[in-house]
Structure 1
Amino acid sequence: MNDHTPDARPGGHPGGQDRAEPGDELLAAFFEEHRGRLHAVAYRMLGSAAEADDAVQESWLRVSRAGTDGVENPGGWLTTIVSRVCLNMLRSRTQRREDPLDIRLPEPVIAKPEGENPEYQAVLADSVGLAMLIVLETLSPAERLAFVLHDLFAMPFEEIAPIVDRTPAATRQLASRARRRVQGTPVPDADITRQRKVVDAFRAAARDGDFEGLIAVLDPEVVVRSDTGGPGPVQVSRGVEQVARNAITYSRLAASVRPALVNGMAGFVSLGADGSPYSVLAFTIHEGRIVEIDALGGDRLRSLDLAVLDD
């Protein structure tokens, strides 16, 4: 994924306070070599591209102060540093949250639906389905870290244990508890073209008020989550009939839509009459039917990079 701001690179802070000196060029190059993996770890840990950028930048500041003398496993060392930063951020987030159920939808990565180019590939490298990210949001910080590092990045428990200040056996249990939660997450169909056909059929049926057409593409137990960034919990709708009726109602608010990849999966951005985005819809499609829809609107759109969809 591309960084959101130009100062997210090593030494890029305004004023030059953290700028690498010429003698540090090798250190900066060393960090850049691993930046993609670090951002991927941070995004899965935090569920926010902007916060992942912050975590990677903070990791660079720590690396630039510590240097690499005596480091035998550079990749593992850097992963440990960014993981400690993310763990601190998750703990701080948990302490600020007044209601343990007040969980926002993760911040998705938006990309054009076409274009096999390096930028597109970078987005896919950093993407993970929103369905899994939503489950990860319900885990404790230590459970999330243990699961992400071990199950998604194959880091041994012996290396994870010092980060969460537990024994390897206890760390294994953290990952096991997290895994049981994640195992109920629907596995999305992998074929993007087939995903797009289902999403397009949903969009056309909603636009035309075709209730039966919507029933045909929605799973009987479909779940819709809507997050506008306002006070209160995320709004949840369940069941095929209610979701179909709501889809027909809300489709009338959209003057047009822009197809998009949302975390590497087929979705779209709805535009108002003035051409400005008012919602992003992400779909989880399993065995040819929509099982989950995650909608972001209102204040939640402010942090998303929707300019990537512009021609």
Structure 2
Amino acid sequence: MDSAAVDRFEAGRDRLASLAYRLLGSAADAEDAVQDTFLRWQATDRERIEVPEAWLTKVVTNLCLDRLRSAQARHERAAGDWLPEPLLDGDPMLGPADTFEQRESVSLAVLALMERLSPVERAAYVLREAFSYPHAEIAGILGITESASQQHVHRARGRVTAERRGRGEVDPASARRVVEEFLAAATSGRTERLVAMLTADATAISDGAGLARRLLRYRTRERIASYVRAGFKPTPAKRRLAGGSPAFHIALVNGSPAVLAVIEDRVVGAVAFEVSDGKVASLRGIAAPDRLARLDEAWRQHKPDAPVVAAW
């Protein structure tokens, strides 16, 4: 393949990766889909392709749909078994972020919510909301009618809107202050303060420090506060498990504030927060190394702020 063909593909790689990540919720799977797209680009008769961007978009989208429909993916993503992979702010895989809809479509909350959509609904929704494709082009990419594209987007948007009602955009600085206060309460043992800082319908999900076979879910403020307090309480056993005593940093992950546990520039855990009306509406705790690999790599190349908690 000549250098011009390689350059043309590379010029659109980040966009393809961002699309694949939104569809799959996994950076590793998105990278695989993009690489498979490149192999098909390499093998095809490119002289017959009138619009390379459209061709590449169709290929990567359908590769992702194949993945979502596979028996392995259905097993991995069964209810209670799967969390989206978090990405550090600035990662090109997060893609376009000019509108609220684009930013919302890559939030961990919406990526998890989209698991309830059918693969075609998910693809139509992402192509429309995050990439502003017209329905005629979505129909061509997915091999459906324009009317069907409109229906898929309408249904998907309705389900997402119903679940996200009242969750407007939050000022990042304000959200960070809430998380800083929440972390201070968690590390000081003020459980009653944690309860007061949670919304009435708050939820928490954890992979159990990467050890649980199924996700752990907490649905009352008292149980969430107890889980958070226990999680942030230092013990010799936790230090041995983590491989040292972590410092805690606050960073933006998928557009929302997160607490990162860092040992010698290695991210060993992340708790992503969703803030609503000055309170914490949800937490997602992730410590499985395979879910943190890309975030960890980005963190090593990142110049972080000073830790909020320097020694644990």
Closer, same or farther: CA 123–72 of 1 in aligned 2, 3 Å: closer
Q: How does 1:87-102 map to 2 (within 5 A)?
A: 87-92=65-70, 96-97=74-75, 100-102=78-80
Alignment TM-score, normalising by the size of structure 1: 0.79
1:73 shift after superposition = 3.1
Q: Is 1:210 matched up with 2:190?
A: yes
Other structure's SS at 2:86 match: coil
1:301 shift after superposition = 4.5
Larger mean CA deviation between 80-89 and 301-310 belongs to 301-310
Look up the match of 2:269.
279
Look up the match of 2:225.
244
RMSD of the TM alignment (CA)?
Answer: 2.7
C-alpha contact 2:271 2:286 (8 A) present in aligned 1: yes
Identify the match of residue 119 of structure 2 among 141, 144, 154.
Answer: 141
1:132 shift after superposition = 0.4
Closer, same or farther: CA 302–206 of 1 in aligned 2, 3 Å: closer
Look up the match of 2:12.
34
Mapped partners of 2:221, 2:177: distance in 1: 19
Mapped partners of 1:276, 1:49: distance in 2: 18
C-alpha contact 1:103 1:137 (8 A) present in aligned 2: no
C-alpha contact 2:33 2:60 (8 A) present in aligned 1: yes
Q: For each residue in 1:66-119, what CA deviation from the matched residue of structure 2 results, as whole angstroms up to 9, or x when unmatched?
A: 2432434332222111111111111125665188424400111135xxxxxxxx
Mapped partners of 1:205, 1:68: distance in 2: 59
Closer, same or farther: CA 150–106 of 1 in aligned 2, 3 Å: same
1:302 shift after superposition = 5.7
Mapped partners of 2:227, 2:4: distance in 1: 56
Closer, same or farther: CA 300–243 of 1 in aligned 2, 3 Å: farther
C-alpha contact 2:138 2:146 (8 A) present in aligned 1: yes
Q: Partner amino acid for 1:177?
A: R
Aligned identity (percent) is 33
Q: Where does the alignment leave 5 or more consecutive residues of structure 2 unmatched?
A: 97-102, 239-244, 304-312
Q: Is 1:270 matched up with 2:270?
A: no
Q: Partner amino acid for 1:170?
A: A
Closer, same or farther: CA 56–307 of 1 in aligned 2, 3 Å: closer
1:129 shift after superposition = 0.6
Mapped partners of 1:173, 1:75: distance in 2: 25
Mapped partners of 2:288, 2:126: distance in 1: 30
Mapped partners of 2:18, 2:279: distance in 1: 29
Q: Partner amino acid for 1:296?
A: I
1:163 shift after superposition = 4.1
C-alpha contact 2:266 2:296 (8 A) present in aligned 1: no
Look up the match of 2:164.
185
Mapped partners of 1:135, 1:166: distance in 2: 24
1:304 shift after superposition = 4.0
Other structure's SS at 1:197 match: helix
Closer, same or farther: CA 142–231 of 1 in aligned 2, 3 Å: farther
Q: Partner amino acid for 1:130?
A: L
Closer, same or farther: CA 304–188 of 1 in aligned 2, 3 Å: farther
Other structure's SS at 1:306 match: helix
Closer, same or farther: CA 93–143 of 1 in aligned 2, 3 Å: farther
Other structure's SS at 1:110 match: coil
C-alpha contact 1:278 1:297 (8 A) present in aligned 2: yes
1:196 shift after superposition = 1.2
Closer, same or farther: CA 81–303 of 1 in aligned 2, 3 Å: same
Identify the match of residue 235 of structure 1 among 209, 213, 216.
Answer: 216
Mapped partners of 2:117, 2:72: distance in 1: 10
Q: How does 1:108-187 map to 2 (within 5 A)?
A: 108-111=86-89, 120=90, 122=92, 125=95, 128-183=106-161, 184-185=163-164, 187=167
Q: Partner amino acid for 2:92?
A: A
Q: Partner amino acid for 1:293?
A: L
Alignment TM-score, normalising by the size of structure 2: 0.79
Other structure's SS at 2:132 match: coil
